[in-house]
Structure 1
Amino acid sequence: MNRPHDPLSGAAARDPRPPRGPSPVAAARSPVRSRTPSTDRESPVSTTDKPTVVLVHGAFADGSSWSAVVERLQRHGHRVLVPALPLRGLASDAAYIRGVLDGVEGPIVLVGHSYGGAVISHAATGAPRVKALVYIAAFVPDIGESTLGLTGKFPGSTLAEATTAQSYPLPGGGQGEELVIRQDVFRQQFADGVPETTAQVMAVGQRPIAVAALQEEATAAAWRDIPSWYLVATEDRNIPPAAERWMASRADAHTVTVRAPHAVSVSDPGPVTDLVLRAVHEVRSGH
């Protein structure tokens, strides 16, 4: 039976460390971006040594959330992979993505949205072909942190009120608990500004995430060793924008800010593509 669920209650108490403000370095890297025409219409770059771009979706979404970004990257001649994330556990999801990475030849730019950010931080650890991490309104946990803990670190998320819990069978027997966003509030919560018909399709096709995955603590943090880029979505109702800025600053990520909802790859694919292409350029130039 579906029932209201509050997965975020008490999350802040599990992470007692006080938030730090953005560093001068990160602040200098953070021009405010609005919904303006994208520079992704520039001439495609040479195909020599182009990295493969791997796009990892998060909770309450699927690979189609990257469709407009994929089209733009392919226009530039990039090979793009969009694996379907199981959304069942942080370590197991990361292992799945690591398997995808191990099958790629050449350099990789690894991109994660939302919960997918926590996954790429795990999956890229010890993966020498991953040359850049790009976080799109995403979690960037340090070792010992969970996505729930990071959500509760700052006020502003309304995800708890928007989700419903439902049970699913575990492989070894018993029942697990997963979350979905209620369809009647999906657009407001996740994709505000996206055309209503598009948001309705997203709502019915959303992928639920296991509560255990949100509670699982990170055991790796690849952003400590791999250059990172971050897009802050200022209208995000899933992850507080203040939390996004704080995580980006802590990771010393090259940061841009876009006035957009959590589903920024759907609402504003241009700025998302631009940031990925910046990372690609840095990888190709050897910086």
Structure 2
Amino acid sequence: MKITLRRSYALVAMLLALVVAGSMLATTSTGASATGHTLSKTGQHGSNVGAKPTIVMVHGAWADASGWQDEVGELVGKGYPVIAPANPLRGLSTDAAYLRSILETIPGPIVLVGHSYGGAVISNAATGLPNVKALVYIAAFVPDAHEPVAQLVQQFPGTMVTEDALDPRPYPLPGGDVGVDLYLKTGIFHDAFAGDLPRSTTRVMQASQRPFSLAAFTEPSGEPAWKTIPSWYLLATADKTIPPAAQEFMAKRASAKIVRVRSSHVAHQSHPRETLALIENAIRSVR
């Protein structure tokens, strides 16, 4: 059943990739969308010489692409092509395959940015892609081969995202199987996930959170791209989701250039300037 499920997800990823490719081509003639989806202007003329890198920003669990709005607005305003796709949050291999299908449609260099679980997705999606020039991790997972993200959380003390913090809900899978989606409980969402944002903001985030499949939490990583691609890491020292000690371990293991900020888990939302500065450091490295 496991093999059948993976094949089903691969088919969905392929179909979605065609939709994304079509929408991106349409965007070329109409300009950037409200979420920053666009193709490099140089791609219209079949030449990538001197092209600015495309910035691809991948969100994590219990979130969506709107969390990047400050960074997207600034980067698009500076003339960078930006894509902030929806991360399916269904399983690491299928999520990475979906992202990879998007990356393969992009001409020219790419700077790939991931927050939280999005870090595991970019680490797997970029492996072997020569035009991905930099990886930027924002309070993110940076797994090695065979490591699930669950192991990296449990290996270090300090997380508030324990079993008691999660609201598991079953959902149907093809063939009659049942999967499990994980939500963060209302009473803990603010403190565990986004303690330095206004409660009026985190109430909306909690109510609209996208579920994180248990399969994505427990699936081991493949061979990671950070072993061959330069990396940057924004380390959130007040993070209650991924313990700072875990972030330190992963960032150093990946030989990433580390910047520390006193932030909750959503550093890209509470500290957009620091996040942008790190992304722009990575951009400068590929010019």
TM-score (norm 2): 0.81
Which of residues 195, 199, 206 in structure 2 aligns to 1:196?
199
Aligned to 1:164: 167
Taking the TM superposition and a 5 Å limit, the aligned residue runs for 1:12-23 are none
Which of residues 130, 133, 153 in structure 2 aligns to 1:128?
130
SS in 1 for 2:175: coil
Aligned to 2:19: none
Structure number with higher helix proportion: 2
SS in 1 for 2:51: coil
Aligned to 1:283: 286
Name the CA distance, whole Å, in 2 between partners of 1:140 and 1:193: 24
The size of the alignment, in residue pairs, is 238
Taking the TM superposition and a 5 Å limit, the aligned residue runs for 1:198-277 are 198-277=201-280
Are residues 1:155 and 2:157 paired? Answer: yes
Q: Measure how far apart 1:168 and its partner are.
A: 1.1
Name the CA distance, whole Å, in 1 between partners of 2:278 and 2:110: 15
Are residues 1:95 and 2:92 paired? Answer: no
Instruction: Specify the code of the residue in structure 2 equivalent to 1:229.
Output: W
Range with greater deviation from structure 2 (193-202 or 241-250): 193-202
- Residues 118-175 of structure 1, C-alpha deviation per residue, up to 9 Å, x if partnerless? 1001000111110000010000010011100111111001101322111111133221
Name the CA distance, whole Å, in 1 between partners of 2:78 and 2:276: 10
Name the CA distance, whole Å, in 2 between partners of 1:225 and 1:269: 27
Q: Measure how far apart 1:72 and its partner are.
A: 1.5
- Residues 2-47 of structure 1, C-alpha deviation per residue, up to 9 Å, x if partnerless? xxxxxxxxxxxxxxxxxxxxxxxxxxxxxxxxxxxxxxxxxxxxx9
Identify the structure with bigger relative contact order (alpha carbons < 8 Å, sequence gap 6+).
1
Aligned to 1:119: 121
Aligned to 2:112: 110
Are residues 1:55 and 2:57 paired? Answer: yes
Which of residues 130, 143, 146 in structure 1 aligns to 2:145?
143
Q: Measure how far apart 1:48 and its partner are.
A: 4.3
Q: Measure how far apart 1:198 and its partner are.
A: 1.2
Aligned to 1:5: none
Name the CA distance, whole Å, in 2 between partners of 1:149 and 1:62: 24
Name the CA distance, whole Å, in 2 between partners of 1:172 and 1:253: 42
TM-score (norm 1): 0.81
Range with greater deviation from structure 2 (165-174 or 211-220): 165-174
Query: How high is the sequence identity, in percent, across the aligned residues?
Result: 51
SS in 2 for 1:53: strand
SS in 2 for 1:187: helix
Instruction: Specify the code of the residue in structure 1 equivalent to 2:64.
Output: D
- Residues 40-75 of structure 1, C-alpha deviation per residue, up to 9 Å, x if partnerless? xxxxxxx94210000000001000111111111112
Q: Which runs of 5+ in 2 are unaligned?
A: 1-48
SS in 2 for 1:159: coil
Name the CA distance, whole Å, in 1 between partners of 2:161 and 2:53: 35
SS in 2 for 1:109: strand
Range with greater deviation from structure 2 (60-69 or 180-189): 180-189
Name the CA distance, whole Å, in 1 between partners of 2:119 and 2:173: 25
Aligned to 2:182: 179
Instruction: Specify the code of the residue in structure 1 equivalent to 2:184.
Output: I
